[in-house]
Chain A
Amino acid sequence: MNRTLSVVRLQLVNTQTFVWVPLLVLGGAFLVTMTIFALLPVEGIVGGGAQAPMWYFLVVGVQSLTLTFPFSQALSVTRREFYLGTVLTALLASAALAVTYVLGGLLEEATGGFGTGSVFFQVPGVWSDGWAVAGLVYLVLSFAFFKVGFFCAVVYKRFGTLVLTAGLIVLALLVLVALWAITRAEAWGQVAAWVADAGVLGLTLWSLPVLALLALASYGLLRRALP
C-alpha cells in the first residue's frame, strides 16, 4: 500500500485524537451554549462556542509533530511521506468538521436555533454567502489552525523554545507596526472597505497563499528535523 496513505492511517489509528476529542469539544460547547441560551430570557444571541474545536486543531497540529513524528521515524517513514500523510489527515479532519458545521447550521436554521431562537452554528458573516461558502470557510479555517500549530511545532523542534518565542514576539510586533501604520495613514476606512469588498469568500481565498507559504516552510524545516 502507498506509504503516504499509511501515514494517514498511522495518524488515525488512535481515533481519539482526530475524531472523538474534536467531537467531544464541539458537543460539549454546544450543550453548554444551549443550556445558557435556554436559561437566558432573550432570543437572538450569537454564541462563540462553535470555534472551540478549531482551537483544539491547533493542539492536534502540535501533537501530530511532537509525538507522532518521532515514532514515524522509528517505523522508517521518510519525512516527505510523513509530511504529506499528515497534511492529508488534517485536510480530512477539517473537511469532516466543516461538514458537521454546515449540517449543524442547516439544522439550526430549520429548528429556529434548536428552539432557543439564538445562534450557535450560523455565525453572521460566515453564513452571509450561503452554506457552501460557509463550509469552505470552516474547512480553510480548521486547516489553518492545524497548520499554524504544526508550523510552530516544527520551529520548536528545529530551533527550540527561545527561537519560537522570539519569533512569535517579532510577529506580534510586526502586526502592531502594521496597525500603527494604518492608523498613522488614516487608512482604516480603506481597510474596512477592502474587507467589505472582499467578503468572507474573498478573505478565505486570500488566506490560501499565506497557508501555502506556511506549508512550504513547514516542509522545508521538517526535512532537517530530528525525531
Chain B
Amino acid sequence: MSSVIEVQNLTKRYRETTALDDVSFSIEQDAIYGLLGRNGAGKTTAMSILTAQNFATSGQVRVFGQAPFENPAVLSRMCFVRESQKYPDDATGRHALRMARLFFPRWDEDLAQDLVEEFELPVKRRIKKLSRGQLSAVGVIIGLASRAEVTFFDEPYLGLDAVARQLFYDRLLQDYAAHPRTVVLSSHLIDEVAPLLERVLVIDRGRILLDEDTDALRGRASAVVGSSAAVEDFVAGREVIHTERLGRVTSATVLGGLSEQDRQRLREADLDVAPVSLQQLVVRLARRAEDSAPKHQELVP
C-alpha cells in the first residue's frame, strides 16, 4: 500500500489556542480511517488543512505527493463536507447535489438518487429549513456519491436517528467494497464506528495519541468473562481498564496480550475471552499516553 496523505510537523495556532501541535502522520490508500477524539481536539482543523480549506501555521502537507493549496489536480480527488457546512442562500437539497455533480469527476448520480430516497431527504426543501439530521444527510450523500479518492466525513451522524446512522454505515461499507478508496471518518462516538475502521488515529488537544491498526489495537487488550471470583483471581496484578458485573458474572478488560500460558489458565478456570470495547481502550490508552497531563474528563461521556 502507498500513502495518499503525508503530514509532517503540522502546527496550527489560533490566537489563543494551539489546535494542532507538531503533528505527523500518514494515511494509506484504500483504507477506512477513524479520526477520533474529543470535541475541539483538532479533528476538523486537520481535515480542513488537508483539503486546503484552512492554512497551516507551520509544517508540511502532501496529498498525492503534492501540496493541495490552489491545486485543482489534487483537490478534485478529495471531498470534505464539514459538519457545519454552509450552503448557498435559498439552495435546496437538489441544488446542492446538482452543484456537487459539477466538480467530482467520479460522481455517481444513480447512487446519489438512491441515497436521497433511502435517507428520505426532501430535496425540494430549502437547506436552511432542513432539520439537523437532514442537513447531515446532505453531507453524507455528497460524500458517498462523490466517490472521491479521499473522502472525509466530519461527524456525519449528527442528528441522524439510529436507523439512518446504520444506513450510512452500511452504504459506506457497501460502496467502499465496490469502489475502494480512502475514507477518513471523524467521530467521537468510537464504539459506533469501530466496526468500520481499519485504522485509528486518536487526536487529543492537538496531538496524535494513537496511530494504529484497529486489529492490533484490539489485540492490546482482552475482556475476560466468567465467575467473579475466577476473574478477579486471573486479573490480579494486571492492568484492568474496565470492569462490568452482572450478578455473579464479571467482565474485566485487561491490557497486554495474552500468552499461551494465560490462555491455558483461562481454560482451566473456565473463563471466556470476549472482544473489547474500542472506546474503553482508546480512552484508557489516551490517558496513559499523557500520564503527566492534569486530570480531565473522559474522551466521551
Contacts and interface: CB of A to CB of B under 8 A. Distances in A.
Nearest to A76: B75
B87 A80 contact: no
Contacts of A73: 51, 53
B265 interface: no
B72 A81 contact: yes
A10 B51 contact: no
A78 interface: yes
Given A78-B71, A78-B75, A71 B103 contact: no
Contacts of A74: 53, 79-82, 85, 142
A80 B85 contact: no
A223 B55 CA distance: 11
B268 to A, nearest CB: 58
B86 A71 contact: yes
Given A63-B89, A68-B88, A3 B71 contact: no
A3 B72 contact: yes
Interface residues of A, number: 27
B60 interface: no
B52 to A, nearest CB: 8
Measured as residues with beta carbon below 8 angstroms from the partner, the interface class of chain B is 35 or more
Q: Which applies to chain A's interface (DSSP): helix, strand, loop or mixed? A: helix
Given A71-B85, A76-B75, A226-B54, A6 B91 contact: no
Contacts of A68: 88
A124 B203 CA distance: 66
A17 B70 CA distance: 27
B75 A14 contact: no
A185 interface: no
Nearest to A10: B99
B151 to A, nearest CB: 11
Contacts of A227: 53, 82, 86
Q: Which 6 pairs, one residue from A and one from B, show the smallest C-beta to C-beta distance?
A: A70-B86, A76-B75, A75-B103, A6-B102, A68-B88, A67-B89
Interface of B: 48, 51-55, 70-72, 75-82, 85-92, 95-96, 98-100, 102-104, 142, 148
19 contacts: A10-B102, A13-B95, A13-B99, A63-B88, A63-B89, A67-B88, A74-B53, A74-B81, A75-B99, A75-B100, A76-B75, A76-B104, A76-B148, A77-B103, A78-B52, A78-B70, A81-B72, A223-B70, A227-B82
Given A73-B51, A76-B80, 11 more contacts: A6-B103, A63-B89, A71-B87, A74-B80, A75-B103, A76-B76, A78-B52, A78-B70, A80-B70, A81-B72, A226-B54
Interface of A: 1, 3, 6, 9-10, 13-14, 16-17, 63, 67-68, 70-71, 73-81, 223-224, 226-227
